[in-house]
Amino acid sequence: MLTHPTTVSRSSANIELKCLIATLLIIFVFNTPISFLKSSKLRGMESNLSLSATVLNERFNILRYLIVQTPYQCSLNLSVHSSFNGTEHLFGFIEGIQRNKVIHQNQSCSKETPSTLSVSTLYIPNLNKIKIIQPECIDQRVQSTLSMTLNLERLMSFRQNDVVLANFEGHVMSHKRTEMLSGISLKRQYPKLWESITVAQKSSFSVSDNNVTALVHRIEFIGGQHFYLIKIVNDDDLIPPYFYIVIVLLSLFLGGGYYLSQLLKEKNTLKKLSYTDQLSGLHNRHYLSEISRRLACDKRYHLCIFDIDHFKRVNDKYGHDIGDQVIKRVADVLKSQMKMGDMAFRIGGEEFLVIMKVDSREVAIHRVERIRKMVQELPQKPSVSISGGLCCINRPIEEVIKCADAQLYQAKQSGRNIIVC
């Protein structure tokens, strides 16, 4: 088995930070389409609200025409207490009102003097109605007064759910929200929203506060007054709450899974470090002890112990730094010759052990001889050689190691730079 030097593993704190970043990234990736989905739904709601505002504008236009333009022609023959015996214009006006039953409740004409010369609107919250008072003046003198009561339920019969009609002071005049009552003040219930609504200059716009968004259309009413047609949208109406729960759980699952995988990876890295010689990058004696319990007798495997000849002289003459370089160069040769199923170890200061899977004893001898020659022919200085002892793994590994060690000793006694089989 070909081995390589392993770098020091990341700390647990770094793993946790990386997992946190990954979790936030997952949330961001999912939140982007959520934001797009919200915007898409709000655009659809705005389109529907715009249609409702158009309908309401048309109905207000009818009122403006009938109440503002016509009354100056309608009171010449009025009698007191709602008796209508008048001119052709009067009947045309009344018939025009009556043809619009959707907005009309009742009307009356009287000779009573109003408090103002302009059109007045009164809101009656307990009855959910608007009373419009229109004075008829000739030469700046009030001749008669027309009052009309509008049924807001009929006026707003077209409205969608969560659509609110509020006057310029923020009083809710009509609505379809279960948690809201007519006559309450938007200014009190949604103070920040209402503040944003009142300062807006456009006729249609949207404002948001916390988890609530208001789509607003400003509509001109009678006498220069304006109303607000408002659709109040909660975030829950755009995205179901369980959707966020799913995202959070999925993020925690993916982030937790990544965290566990990193912990497992670090554990494996630490385990590998405990089995790896840091100087040479080969397996260490601890790993040899670990696998020796699992190695069975198999004649296809051969074991060879190598030792660098006269290594003490190298250290004494060139120093330990050069000695470490020599060890690395020999280890590189061993790693370059390892095949699938082979393993290389550094078991002592200058001692190495290899386990090779071969087809025959001759192949094993050829391979270890090639390793010996490659070390001998290394171009770097100082030049070194190795000796070795080769044995077949046909008995317990402890006995094989003793056999190879004895063969190595014989190689040293025979002049070094040889392999004894």
Distance, C-alpha 225 to centroid of its chain: 46
* 287-302 mean pLDDT: 81
Task: Give the separation between CA 339 and CA 333, rounded to whole angstroms.
Answer: 13
Read off the pLDDT band of 155 (50, 70, 90).
low
Task: Please check whether residues 215 and 292 belong to one and the same domain.
Answer: no
Whether 393 and 298 have beta carbons less than 8 Å apart is answered as yes
* 161-166 mean pLDDT: 77
Measured N-to-C along each axis, helices 12-63 and 241-274 cross at an angle, to the nearest 10 degrees, of 170
Task: Give the separation between CA 325 and CA 96, rounded to whole angstroms.
Answer: 108
Q: Decide if pLDDT at 400 tops 80.
A: yes
Backbone dihedral angles phi then psi of residue 144, each to the nearest 5 degrees: -160, 170
SS3 113: coil
Read off the pLDDT band of 392 (50, 70, 90).
very high
For residues 9 and 321, the model is more confident at 321
Lowest mean pLDDT among 116-120, 153-157, 359-363: 116-120
Q: Decide if pLDDT at 143 tops 90.
A: no
Task: Please check whether residues 179 and 58 belong to one and the same domain.
Answer: yes
- Domain for residue 48, yes or no? yes
- Domain for residue 191, yes or no? yes
Task: Give the separation between CA 306 and CA 308, rounded to whole angstroms.
Answer: 7
Active site residues: 350
* 78-95 mean pLDDT: 37
Closest CA to 391 of 377, 410, 413: 410
Indicate which CATH number applies to the domain containing 144. 3.30.450.20
* 53-63 mean pLDDT: 74
Work out whether the CA dihedral 294, 299, 301, 302 comes out positive or negative: positive
Task: Please check whether residues 304 and 231 belong to one and the same domain.
Answer: no
Whole-number pLDDT of residue 363:
94
Whole-number pLDDT of residue 111:
47
Whole-number pLDDT of residue 192:
86
- Domain for residue 215, yes or no? yes
Task: Give the separation between CA 161 and CA 103, rounded to whole angstroms.
Answer: 19
- Alpha helices for 184-304 (secondary structure H): 186-189, 191-199, 235-238, 241-274, 285-292
For residues 409 and 2, the model is more confident at 409
Read off the pLDDT band of 128 (50, 70, 90).
low
Whether 134 and 68 have beta carbons less than 8 Å apart is answered as yes
Whole-number pLDDT of residue 386:
95
Q: Decide if pLDDT at 134 tops 70.
A: no
Task: Give the separation between CA 364 and CA 355, rounded to whole angstroms.
Answer: 10
Whether 150 and 104 have beta carbons less than 8 Å apart is answered as yes
Whole-number pLDDT of residue 78:
32
Task: Please check whether residues 107 and 209 belong to one and the same domain.
Answer: yes
Question: How does the average pLDDT of the chain come out, rounded?
Answer: 74
- Domain for residue 196, yes or no? yes
Q: Decide if pLDDT at 417 tops 60.
A: yes
Task: Give the separation between CA 355 and CA 301, rounded to whole angstroms.
Answer: 7
Q: Work out how many domains the chain is built from and give that number.
A: 2
Task: Give the separation between CA 336 and CA 343, rounded to whole angstroms.
Answer: 11
Quote the DSSP letter at residue 64: I
Whole-number pLDDT of residue 337:
94
pLDDT tens-place string over residues 95-120: 544 554 434 444 445 445 455 545 55
Q: Decide if pLDDT at 167 tops 90.
A: no
Q: Decide if pLDDT at 373 tops 90.
A: yes
Q: Please state the length of the chain.
A: 421
Whole-number pLDDT of residue 362:
94
SS3 207: strand
Whole-number pLDDT of residue 2:
37
For residues 211 and 11, the model is more confident at 211
Read off the pLDDT band of 332 (50, 70, 90).
very high
- Domain for residue 165, yes or no? yes
- Domain for residue 340, yes or no? yes
Q: Decide if pLDDT at 76 tops 60.
A: no
Indicate which CATH number applies to the domain containing 398. 3.30.70.270
- Domain of 149 in residue numbering reads as 17-238
Those residues whose C-beta lies under 8 Å from the C-beta of residue 75, and which sit 6 or more positions away, are: 86, 90, 109, 136, 143, 144, 146
Whole-number pLDDT of residue 24:
67
Q: Decide if pLDDT at 382 tops 70.
A: yes
Domain boundary among 178, 211, 238: 238
For residues 308 and 34, the model is more confident at 308
Q: Decide if pLDDT at 371 tops 90.
A: yes
pTM above 0.85, yes or no: no
For residues 90 and 371, the model is more confident at 371
Task: Please check whether residues 208 and 289 belong to one and the same domain.
Answer: no
Task: Please check whether residues 193 and 300 belong to one and the same domain.
Answer: no
Task: Please check whether residues 224 and 290 belong to one and the same domain.
Answer: no
Whether 152 and 102 have beta carbons less than 8 Å apart is answered as no
- Domain for residue 243, yes or no? no
Backbone dihedral angles phi then psi of residue 391, each to the nearest 5 degrees: -140, 155
- Alpha helices for 337-416 (secondary structure H): 361-376, 397-413
Task: Please check whether residues 168 and 52 belong to one and the same domain.
Answer: yes
Task: Give the separation between CA 130 and CA 133, rounded to whole angstroms.
Answer: 10
Q: Which residues pair with 134 in a beta bridge?
A: 146
Task: Give the separation between CA 173 and CA 165, rounded to whole angstroms.
Answer: 6
Task: Please check whether residues 105 and 187 belong to one and the same domain.
Answer: yes
Read off the pLDDT band of 345 (50, 70, 90).
very high
Those residues whose C-beta lies under 8 Å from the C-beta of residue 204, and which sit 6 or more positions away, are: 46, 50, 53, 216, 217, 218
Task: Please check whether residues 128 and 190 belong to one and the same domain.
Answer: yes
Q: Decide if pLDDT at 228 tops 80.
A: yes
The pLDDT > 70 percentage for the chain reads: 62
Domain boundary among 238, 253, 269: 238
For residues 404 and 41, the model is more confident at 404
* 46-52 mean pLDDT: 81
Torsion of CA 253, 254, 255, 259, to 10 degrees: 100
Work out whether the CA dihedral 354, 359, 363, 365 comes out positive or negative: positive
Whether 344 and 353 have beta carbons less than 8 Å apart is answered as yes
Lowest mean pLDDT among 58-62, 189-193, 296-300, 411-415: 58-62
Task: Please check whether residues 162 and 301 belong to one and the same domain.
Answer: no
Q: Decide if pLDDT at 379 tops 80.
A: yes
Closest CA to 206 of 182, 168, 233: 233
- Domain for residue 318, yes or no? yes
* 204-232 mean pLDDT: 80
Task: Give the separation between CA 288 and CA 282, rounded to whole angstroms.
Answer: 11
Strand order from edge to edge, sheet including 120-124: 106-110, 141-151, 129-138, 120-124
Read off the pLDDT band of 73 (50, 70, 90).
very low
Task: Please check whether residues 188 and 301 belong to one and the same domain.
Answer: no
SS3 53: helix
Domain boundary among 217, 238, 259: 238
